[in-house]
């Protein structure tokens, strides 16, 4: 039972997933939102936790969750079947590049692998889950450009260097525009460890925000608690 992570409205068994539930994923799952989402896609769903969080927050939406790792995809499907949102969740064992959806998505999210140009993990499943090169992100943005609805949002969480690369070098020329950049740091005054980017198809002035995870060692900030309160039993 140690592999079970309990949330307020669902449970996640992560026993057969190379990548476990992590802070990046739950911040993205709690932050991602579209006011009128009918169709949502989670790219690289892993345990399925982000897809479950999105299903909870978007009660009218159907959520597809694509995962290239067969074991993780099966685990996510199992978690979906056991949830109260089972009728609106679908686990797809595939690379996202192979998807050809008949309809566009209003919200596409991804907590992607990001060890770009770094030493690959010797564990083949963790290597698959964690490593990507720039071509992966180019392909992901091409997919978003093709299958995101006109007023839809693409939201992803990345280390700062990759976020900067995406905004400065990958978005121009694709008719995709940065709408919001949330800088995430462990403590006030520290260098951000992640950036949560919100990208759309409508040109607009991008907004900047900050989120600190900890007030002090072992004590989360009020902002972090507020963000995760609808999901975490501890809050």
Residues 22-64 have pLDDT tens digits of: 999 999 999 999 999 999 999 999 999 999 999 999 999 999 9
pLDDT of residue 117: 41
Closest residue by Cα to residue 223 from 209, 205, 202: 209
- pLDDT given at position 26: 97
User: Is residue 235 within 8 Å of 6, Cβ to Cβ?
Assistant: no
Single pTM value for the model: 0.91
d(CA 166, CA 137): 8
Residues in the chain where the model's pLDDT stays below 50 = 1, 115-131
- What pLDDT does 131 receive? 43
Place of tokens 């902002």: 223
Give the pLDDT score at 42.
Answer: 98
For 87, the token pair is 């009728």
Cα 107 to Cα 39: distance, rounded to the nearest angstrom: 7
> According to the model, what pLDDT value does residue 2 have?
55
Q: What pLDDT does 132 receive?
A: 53
Domains and CATH numbers, the chain: 4-228 (3.40.50.150)
């Amino acid at each position: 039972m140690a592999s079970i992570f309990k949330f307020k409205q669902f449970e996640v068994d992560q026993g057969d997933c190379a990548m476990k539930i992590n802070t990046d994923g739950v911040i993205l799952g709690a932050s991602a939102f579209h006011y009128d989402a009918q169709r949502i896609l989670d790219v690289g769903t892993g345990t399925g936790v982000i897809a479950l969080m999105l299903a909870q927050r978007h009660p009218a939406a159907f959520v597809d969750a694509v995962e290239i790792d067969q074991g993780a995809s099966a685990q996510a499907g199992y978690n979906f079947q056991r949830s109260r949102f089972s009728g609106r969740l679908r686990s797809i064992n595939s690379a996202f590049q192979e998807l050809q959806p008949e309809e566009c998505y209003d919200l596409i999210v991804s907590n992607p692998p990001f060890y770009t140009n770094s030493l690959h993990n010797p564990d083949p499943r963790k290597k698959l889950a964690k490593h990507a090169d720039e071509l992966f992100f180019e392909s992901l943005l091409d997919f978003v450009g093709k299958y995101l609805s006109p007023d839809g949002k693409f939201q992803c969480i990345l280390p700062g260097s990759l976020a900067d690369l995406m905004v400065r070098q990958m978005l121009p020329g694709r008719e995709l525009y940065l709408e919001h950049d949330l800088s995430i740091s462990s403590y006030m005054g520290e260098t951000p460890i992640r950036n949560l980017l919100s990208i759309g198809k409508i040109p607009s002035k991008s907004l900047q925000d900050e989120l600190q995870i900890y007030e002090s060692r072992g004590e989360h900030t009020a902002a972090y608690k507020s963000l995760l309160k609808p999901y975490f039993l501890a809050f």
